[in-house]
Amino acid sequence: MEVSVFFAPLQGLTDHEFRLTYESVFGGVKEYFTPFMRVESGVIRKSDLRELNFVQKEAKTTPQILPKNSLEAAILVEQIYAAGCRRVDINMGCPFVKVVQGVRGAGILPYPEKVADVLSVTEKFPEITFSLKMRSGLESSTDLWSLIPIINKVNLRHVTLHARTAKEGYDGEPDKKVFARFLSECSHPVVYNGNILSFQGVKKLQEDFPLLSGVMIGRGLLAHPDLLHPEWNCTERKARCVDFYERIYDAYARKFSGEMQILKHMQEFWTYFMPDADKKLKKKLKKTQSLFAFEGYAQRILEEYNYS
Ligand SMILES: Cc1cc2nc3c(=O)[nH]c(=O)nc-3n(C[C@H](O)[C@H](O)[C@H](O)COP(=O)(O)O)c2cc1C
């Protein structure tokens, strides 16, 4: 594959345990991004610090930050620098209401001066390589067009565009016309994100956008973690998926203490994993309050799944 493939950050899903397991069972991804880290009461969140301690040991993972202004950005980048990481991704795409109301994530996009303020962190830390992940706007993609001169002025290794507004959420196709215009006007390498669900989907994007430098895939890889390996046969796919499930289970059993916590996280994992599996079994797996019953449903799904 000519374009680089990045694994999108997904809060609550693509944590350290997930990334390590994915890398050892499937691989094929150039880089992973942590779910966003943020400041609370003037310091980095405790859970983010835990994640950061792991990222130190993951050569292929870049920490992502969700700052409101250059002050918050500097607090986060200093911690990341101290942890030994030299790459940082800046989030300007999160559409969650609370985040947007706090003028973070996609909430910052209508304010060019605030975007410029956050991006000024790139000048303050020249030893760090920054990238940016953004949506096309809060309510309208007109936000994007006024930000291009600001984005072009700073030093970034790439910009990932999820060409939907925050208002559009996660459904439907990203706006390819908006993406095409951004690709032609942005002076940095550009990465496509949003609804890539198959290997053919990646190929098609390469054909449609020859100047593309990479693709970032989130839910597509959660659903079909073998997506980047069309060369594997059914037996190989089955062996890898079963191995993947078992390793994730073991990792979460070590990470979380009580049975209910393990169950909750495994059920969240299965919200995305194998969406085309037997519907009745999946419903039972999602609803059960028993970890023992959950394991039984999961084993049956993995056994009966059509891996072609
Ligand atoms: C549950 C969930 C959590 C997410 N968390 C993050 C996050 O922490 N940082 C981020 O930049 N994007 C986050 N995203 C957005 C994804 O990285 C990605 O941009 C989006 O899902 C579209 O790509 P996809 O269709 O390939 O999944 C999240 C999305 C979902 C569904």
Is residue 103 pLDDT above 90, yes or no?
A: yes
Confidence of residue 308 (pLDDT cuts 50, 70, 90): confident
Q: What's domain 4-223's superfamily in CATH?
A: Aldolase class I (3.20.20.70)
Say what the pLDDT of residue 196 is: 98
Average pLDDT of the residues in 40-69? 95
The residue whose CB lies within 8 Å of the most ligand 1 atoms, and thus the one to mutate among 6, 7, 11, 90, is 11
Say what the pLDDT of residue 172 is: 87
Pairwise CA distance, residues 160 & 216, whole Å:
8
CA 36–ligand 1 middle distance (angstroms): 10
The set of protein residues with a Cβ atom below 6 angstroms from ligand 1 is: 8-11, 35-36, 64, 91, 93-94, 133, 162, 170, 193-196, 217-220
The owner of tokens 């950005």 is 73
Is residue 5 pLDDT above 90, yes or no?
A: yes
Q: What is the pLDDT of residues 171-187, one digit of tens each?
A: 889 999 999 999 999 99
Classify 55 as helix, strand or coil. helix
Average pLDDT of the residues in 123-152? 98
**CB neighbours of residue 283 within 10 Å:** 11
Say what the pLDDT of residue 1 is: 62
Q: Token pair for residue 207?
A: 């054909």
Helix locations, the chain, DSSP H: 16-25, 46-55, 70-82, 97-101, 112-119, 121-124, 142-153, 176-185, 199-208, 219-223, 234-255, 259-272, 279-287, 291-304
> Closest Cα partner for 33 from 45, 49, 15?
15
Average pLDDT of the residues in 89-93? 98
Residue % of the chain over a pLDDT of 70: 100
Average pLDDT of the residues in 20-42? 97
Q: How many residues does the chain have?
A: 308
Is the CA virtual torsion 151, 156, 157, 159 positive or negative?
negative
Say what the pLDDT of residue 62 is: 98
CA 294–ligand 1 middle distance (angstroms): 26
Q: What is the pLDDT of residues 200-255, one digit of tens each?
A: 999 999 999 999 999 999 999 999 999 999 999 999 999 999 999 999 999 999 99
Element (H, E) at 133: strand 129-137
Task: Kindly state the DSSP code that residue 17 receives in the 8-state scheme.
Answer: H
> Closest Cα partner for 44 from 18, 19, 71?
71
Pairwise CA distance, residues 155 & 216, whole Å:
20
> Which residues, 6+ apart, have CB-to-CB distance to 300 below 8 Å?
278, 281
Confidence of residue 28 (pLDDT cuts 50, 70, 90): very high
Q: Which atom belonging to ligand 1 lies closest to the Cα atom of 219? A: 27
Average pLDDT, the chain: 97
Residue spans per domain, the chain: 4-223, 234-304
Average pLDDT of the residues in 115-135? 98
